[in-house]
Amino acid sequence: MSAVPEPAVRLEVHSREQFAEGHRFDDGGAYEVLTATAHYCVDPEAPAHRAVPDLGLAPRDGTGRVRFSGDVEILRPVDGGRRRLFFDWGNRGNKRAVQYFCDAPHTNRPRTRADAGNGYLLRRGYTLVFGAWQGDLLPGDGRLLLDVPVARRDGEPVRGLTTAEFIVEEPIRSLPLSRWSSTGSSPVSERGRRSARLTRRRYAHSTPEELPSDTWRFARLQGGGSDLKGSSTALVPSRHDLHLDDGFRPGWIYELTYEAEDPLVLGLGLVAVRDLVSHLRHDPARPAGPVDYAYGWGRSQTGRAIRDFIHHGFNEDLDGRRVFDGLLPHVSGAGRLGVERFTNLTVPGGQQYEDHLSPADAFPFAYAETVDHLTGARDAIMKRPSDPKVLHTQTSTEYWQRRGSLVHTTTDGRDLGFPPDVRGYLWSSSQHVADPAAGAPGRGICNHPENVVATSALFRAVLDALDAWVSEGVEPPPSAVPTVGDGTLVTMDEWSRQFPAVPSALRPHEPNELYAVDRSAVPPVADRSRRYTVLVPAVDADGNETAGVRAPMVAVPLATYTGWNTRAPGQGHGALHEFSGSTFPFAATEDERLITGDPRPSVQKRHRDAAGYAAGIRAAAEDLVTRRLLLAEDVERVVASAANWSFPRHRFELR
């Protein structure tokens, strides 16, 4: 008699707690929280795992399997809810879905009624699953951790050249090689200590200058008020940290090239998501309750993870079943994840100034099949019967910083569109991160106040549309993205002619371009003569984008809202800043407009008074409801947030 095969996942539940003091959430009823560890067992020889780099070098047990484990938390309806699983691809180990879908405060330990925000996901009866997938995170702040193996070759360390980039806003002398205190670093080898090179340059395209090797070292500065000795410090040798004697300075891009060793098998993170969700759907013990449909959402880093997950075929489990019925990648831009050897998963996708040559942005970029005009390769994100339905959402920032046009164009800039099971939506004139909590805009190290457009209500409509599409066959709203054909997706030259002469606005020189890159070289080398075509959304006379889904604040504007912001002097002046957008308020009165030379009509001329502005916001919200891009329940929320000229997002001294 043959042995029963070991399951891919064993779920060890540690605790079960009441959620929100037993509050009942409409269709969801009362909820409970399960905290668990998922123990994974993987056959490294299985064809399904060919896309996992270095899996063949992972340690195996006596049965030839690779084992690893990760944190899991399940927020589930006590009475079963609506039999729908919603997986939060935690951004860098952090729980984000409740924050963005429920306008809730961010917490990695949701337990109270306040943690549920407006309760949307729970009122809809979803079982929420938070599962660790990122294997290079360090403990702390409640992050979900995945413990993956280190690749070894015949018991010996695996080594290879890699790079690490460092950009600071304030002077500092020591940094982890990962750049993030929350993330583990690829340690330098003994040989790498002697052969490493450190350079710095002003901009991504600037010629680097090498720093003398006696001015820096692999070490960390310890102390300085963090221990019982007060201000005493010590320099401690470290394979995981870089120390610069004169300190890292703002306005420079530092790049370290070094030999690293002991790479983590990070691709197992995608395997973990596949096997965990499949287990929760099909295990007879029903640890997540009964599940008829499974959906997932990720933003930015995890939006890219979703696209990689689909592209490499992980949406089919080991028994040939579809894992997710629908997925919602948000603000991924044209990138995927990239889990090659010595990858730092926490580093964002490539931007104009920061991490410009990140491997995240590699062909294919589009869901539909297309040809890479630079190489002749043909590929697509979506290409398998097991692929889920996808609603892809992105903001203006993705077009400027994340090459977002390539999601729905050919690589040489022609309209491509989406496959039948994909819809795409631009959230017009909004920025990459839009905190659901209203607040006055800051500047940080940028020239302009950040973008204040509120978009969190759009998440709820998108999820309702996905659920109706999957469970009832109701088509979602048609895609709403700019296109070359209708003149709403344009070149930088065209955009420059359209954008108004806003006083004090330092415009971008260009969007974040994308070139052919030789990755066999370390550091990688871009061929600036061979480029992909990156386009940006067209704008109206106010400077606001014409295509896409206009949130009420954009449809009835009090400002020009952009997906870009430029770095301030001393911080890489003029280059695009990370994922920041801008707000350029209109003049309050006509007198102010004339004095400042602002070509845009004033708030006073546009709106009779604050009540008239709020009425315009209501009309815009109701129009979105008719188009199924906003829920009816959100109209009053949107109108309430528009009180007193959308204070505190805007501040106008008008009656």
Residue-level pLDDT at 49: 97
Q: Is 254 within the bounds of a domain? A: yes
Q: Is 211 within the bounds of a domain? A: yes
Same structural domain, 256 and 276: no
Containing H/E element for 222? strand 219-223
DSSP 3-state of 457: helix
Same structural domain, 287 and 148: yes
Residue-level pLDDT at 609: 93
Question: Alpha carbon of 555 to those of 383, 443, 454, 558: distances in Å?
Answer: 37, 24, 12, 10
Same structural domain, 187 and 243: yes
Instruction: Give the span between the Cα atoms of 215 and 237, in whole angstroms.
Output: 15
Q: How many domains does the chain contain in total?
A: 2
Instruction: Give the span between the Cα atoms of 103 and 456, in whole angstroms.
Output: 7
Same structural domain, 44 and 87: yes
Residue-level pLDDT at 510: 97
Q: Is 249 within the bounds of a domain? A: yes
**Cβ(331)–Cβ(394) below 8 Å:** yes
Quick one: how far is CA 80 from the chain centroid?
31
Same structural domain, 78 and 147: yes
Closest CA relative to residue 396, chosen from 443, 435, 434, 449: 434
Residue-level pLDDT at 591: 96
Same structural domain, 192 and 213: yes
Q: Is 243 within the bounds of a domain? A: yes
Amino acid identity for residue 60 in this structure:
R
Q: Is 168 within the bounds of a domain? A: yes
- Name beta bridge partners: 128: 75, 86
Domain extent at residue 252: 159-261
Same structural domain, 53 and 122: yes
Same structural domain, 146 and 189: no
Same structural domain, 231 and 122: no
Closest CA relative to residue 499, chosen from 595, 396, 393, 571: 396
Same structural domain, 173 and 235: yes
Residue-level pLDDT at 89: 95
Q: Is 101 within the bounds of a domain? A: yes
Instruction: Give the span between the Cα atoms of 227 and 301, in whole angstroms.
Output: 35
pLDDT tens digits along 407-450: 999 999 999 999 999 999 999 999 999 988 888 999 999 999 99
What is the 8-class DSSP label of residue 451? P
Give the β-pairing of 389-395 and 326-330. Answer: parallel
Residue-level pLDDT at 1: 38
Closest CA relative to residue 286, chosen from 133, 129, 134: 129
Residue-level pLDDT at 655: 62
Amino acid identity for residue 435 in this structure:
D
Respond yes or no on whether the N-terminal peptide bond of residue 149 is cis (omega within 30° of 0): no
**Cβ(305)–Cβ(327) below 8 Å:** no
Q: Is 23 within the bounds of a domain? A: yes
Same structural domain, 9 and 108: yes
What is the 8-class DSSP label of residue 533? -
Instruction: Give the span between the Cα atoms of 7 and 283, in whole angstroms.
Output: 10
Same structural domain, 100 and 13: yes
pLDDT tens digits along 201-245: 999 999 999 999 999 999 999 876 555 556 788 999 999 999 999
Quick one: how far is CA 268 from the chain centroid?
19
Which stretches of the chain score pLDDT less than 70? 1-4, 224-230, 655
Instruction: Give the span between the Cα atoms of 472 and 465, in whole angstroms.
Output: 10
Instruction: Give the span between the Cα atoms of 458 and 566, in whole angstroms.
Output: 27
Closest CA relative to residue 272, chosen from 442, 67, 568, 468: 67
Ranges of beta strands (E only) in 204-304 are 209-210, 216-217, 219-223, 233-237, 241-248, 253-261, 293-299
Q: Calculate the average pLDDT of the chain.
A: 95
Q: Is 140 within the bounds of a domain? A: yes
pTM: 0.96
Residue-level pLDDT at 121: 98
